[in-house]
Amino acid sequence: MSVKKIDSPEFQDAIRSGVAVVDFNATWCGPCRMLAPVLEELSDEMAGKAAFYAMDVDDNPDVAASFGINSIPYVAVFKDGQKADEQIGFVPKPQLQAFIERNL
């Protein structure tokens, strides 16, 4: 698996069923660039448990606004279309993995 880049039109389909991990980020955000490879690793290690997506908040301000996102990176876990939890800012891989597993 890998982290799939999505945009606003794809968002609802992406989170509709199962567990979806969505990384809201921006190209200019240093902590976002640090978090991206961590999410790539976790997407491989957690294949079959959760789907991983990335969304640029600058390109998709409507989705970002709908969740009140004003700090990035912002990682949200969705279960069957509903937001289950959120993690704001960069965190090391073990902490991020524990956050996702808590929400499976």
Q: Which of 19, 32, 39, 57 is catalytic?
A: 32
Q: What is the pLDDT of residue 98?
A: 98
| pLDDT per residue as tens, the chain (104 positions) | 699 999 999 999 999 999 999 999 999 999 999 999 999 999 999 999 999 999 999 999 999 999 999 999 999 999 999 999 999 999 999 999 999 999 99
Spot the catalytic one: 6, 15, 19, 29: 29
Domain with 62 in it: what CATH number? 3.40.30.10
- Is the pTM higher than 0.75? yes
Domain around 16: 4-102
Q: How many structural domains compose the chain?
A: 1
Q: State how far the alpha carbon of 84 is from the alpha carbons of 11, 36, 44, 66, in Å.
A: 16, 21, 21, 15
Residue owning tokens 């301000």: 61
Whether residue 29 lies in the annotated active site: yes
